[in-house]
A and B are shown apart, each in its own frame.
Chain A
């Protein structure tokens, strides 16, 4: 969607390798989120950020870490990928500080761990 891009769009990686997914925004929003989507579970929150270097864990954070050194970039890292981390990953941004209720989602990254 306009203002937010995720990269890569698809990735296949081997078990045990590190993987980093990137979320880049041009909207200058303070809040950023990483979700994973799995059949039967909907979207579940992995990590979120409420400012540069301000991050916290979501409900499914085990095996994932994040970093936010700039407002525009929010990185999700799988330190040692496992097959259970095969999923579609979505980044989202929100402009809550201005009373905006909306969210903008990226187009998703399909990650396959073999």
Chain B
């Protein structure tokens, strides 16, 4: 079974600084998707960024970028120019490729990292 591990229960950053959240995963599959979700106090789950495993290029969305190391099974999230609105719980998630239809799109989540942003 796939597992996702976020080893940092809490992280903090100063406003305008850069912070990196770590995520590692374990899988025997070669094709899969990785996600970072943000959950603010409202409980809403917001997709931050997505990475397809077959793409070597790291995904980027504005101030958010990932460092995807497939061989090391590592998928870290870098937040640049941190803003107060970035404060939230962040979840890393894994999904097997839907090739063959057997994965049914099931997501496996990490434990979450609470990010605090100091003004």
* Binary CB contact string for chain A from 90 to 104 against chain B (1 if under 8 A, 0 otherwise): 101010100001110
Give, as a whole number of angstroms, the nearest-CB distance from B25 to chain A: 12
A88 — which chain B residues lie within 8 A by C-beta?
A: 43
* Binary CB contact string for chain B from 33 to 48 against chain A (1 if under 8 A, 0 otherwise): 1000000001111010
User: Which chain B residue has the least Cβ–Cβ distance from A38?
Assistant: B111
Residues of A40-59 at the interface with B, using a CB-CB cut-off of 8 Å, are 40-45, 48, 50, 56, 58-59
A41 — which chain B residues lie within 8 A by C-beta?
A: 111
Q: Count of chain A residues with Cβ under 8 Å from any Cβ of B?
A: 26
Q: Count of chain B residues with Cβ under 8 Å from any Cβ of A?
A: 24
Asked if A74 is at the interface of the complex by the 8 Å CB criterion, the answer is no
Contact A42 B109 (CB under 8 A): yes
Give, as a whole number of angstroms, the nearest-CB distance from A38 to chain B: 10
Partner of B104, one of A31, A44, A102, A103: A31
A62 — which chain B residues lie within 8 A by C-beta?
A: none
B108 — which chain A residues lie within 8 A by C-beta?
A: 45
Contact A103 B107 (CB under 8 A): yes
**Among A40, A43, A90, A103: residue with most chain B CB under 10 A:** A43
Give the interface of A toward B (CB within 8 A): 1, 31, 33, 35, 40-45, 48, 50, 56, 58-59, 88, 90, 92, 94, 96, 101-103, 105, 107-108
A sample of 7 more A-B contacts (CB under 8 A), given A50-B104, A101-B33, is A35-B109, A42-B112, A92-B107, A96-B105, A101-B50, A103-B105, A105-B44
Contact A102 B44 (CB under 8 A): no
